[in-house]
Chain A
Amino acid sequence: MAAGSSVLQTCALSLLVFTGASQFSAVSVIGAGGSIGSALGGALLLAARNGVYGLAMSRRLDGGIGRKLLAAQLTIDETTAMAVAQPDRRSQQVAFWVTGVALYTFWNLGTLIGALTGSAVDPKTFGLDAAFPAGFIAMVWPLFSDPRARKAAAVGGVICLATVPFTPIGVPILLSVFGVLVGLQKPVDAPKIETVS
């Protein structure tokens, strides 16, 4: 992982934050020289959707407050998508917890391995600076099956490039969120949960 983070910091980010797009966004903005404020803002915008997933999961998960506080940390794209795809309440809960625990384990193991090997090479020689946008494009592409997501992406991307020369580093990422205003328009079909890793 880039952006002058120590192995410990990179692992802490994965263990504590545990929502991929936000982690990568923070590292990407800091790596480009952005401020803590703009890195935090962009990452939190991406974390906001987990609140919507939480709403969807709260109708499906049983258990007391302790269990729900634990479930909250695992409430991300993949666990929600796996859970809501199941036909009944029982298998929804099993899918949520199995996906959550497996993903948490492998995500953090992967982060550790990546942090240990990544700190040993020069990023530019291996094109590792392009690994970030390549990963982002893989995340965002499945969303484009929805025409409104394509519109939001076009607006967000144009805002970003148009404001890069005039605003502090990281701020164009915050401004790109205005692309979501295409959602003010009523959809033709029913809204559905969309996923991104």
Chain B
Amino acid sequence: MTWTLIILLTLGAYAFKVTGLVFLGGRSLPPMFERCLALIPAAVVTALVMKDTFTTGQDLVLDARALGIAVAGIAAWRKAPLIVVIVLGAAVTALVRQL
């Protein structure tokens, strides 16, 4: 983590917030564009799950994390609170590593 990244991300993230709230204020975007923007978290956050579970650097790997995240996924599906999902994912991964 570097200060350059922190500063650029601060400016960029605030720019998006201000653009919608202050500059575009009240106007609406083409529905197709809004639909695509609304799907960004589903696509990108799922990619982050895949990356953090099945890769190390540029290698595809299957290790303890896969089981931990499978359990976390079941917990999320059963509507467990965020903290429970995180603790389960971490704990199962740590346990499998001890075996």
Chain A contact residues, CB within 8 Å of chain B: 3-6, 9-10, 12-13, 16-19, 21-22, 24-28, 30, 32-33, 36, 39-40, 42-59, 61, 65, 68-69, 71-73, 75, 124-141, 143-144, 146, 148-150, 152-157, 159-161, 164-165, 169, 172-173, 176-184, 187, 191, 193-194, 196-197
Contact with A57, one of B1, B21, B29, B85 (Cβ below 8 angstroms) = B21
Chain A residues near B26 (CB, 8 Å)?
Answer: 55, 58-59
Q: Evaluate contact between B10 and A16: CB separation under 8 angstroms.
A: yes
Contact with A156, one of B20, B42, B73 (Cβ below 8 angstroms) = B42
Instruction: Please judge, given known A-B contacts A164-B55, A180-B39, A197-B82, whether A50 and B48 are in contact too, CB under 8 Å.
Output: no
Q: How many A-B residue pairs have CB under 8 A?
A: 322
Contact with B13, one of A47, A136, A149, A176 (Cβ below 8 angstroms) = A47
Contact with A140, one of B13, B14, B45, B51 (Cβ below 8 angstroms) = B45
Q: Which of B71-87 contact A (CB under 8 A)?
A: 72-73, 75-77, 80, 82, 85-86
Rounded to whole Å, the gap between the CB of B46 and the closest CB of chain A is: 4
Whole-angstrom CA separation of A152 from B89 in the bound complex:
24
Q: Which of B1-31 contact A (CB under 8 A)?
A: 1-6, 8-10, 12-14, 16-22, 24-29, 31
Q: Evaluate contact between B12 and A5: CB separation under 8 angstroms.
A: no
Q: Which of B28-87 contact A (CB under 8 A)?
A: 28-29, 31-32, 34-60, 64-65, 68-69, 72-73, 75-77, 80, 82, 85-86
Q: Evaluate contact between B42 and A149: CB separation under 8 angstroms.
A: yes
Rounded to whole Å, the gap between the CB of A124 and the closest CB of chain B is: 7
Instruction: Please judge, given known A-B contacts A133-B65, A148-B39, A177-B44, whether A40 and B16 are in contact too, CB under 8 Å.
Output: no
Contact with B37, one of A10, A22, A49, A136 (Cβ below 8 angstroms) = A49
Instruction: Please judge, given known A-B contacts A149-B39, A165-B59, A183-B39, whether A72 and B21 are in contact too, CB under 8 Å.
Output: yes
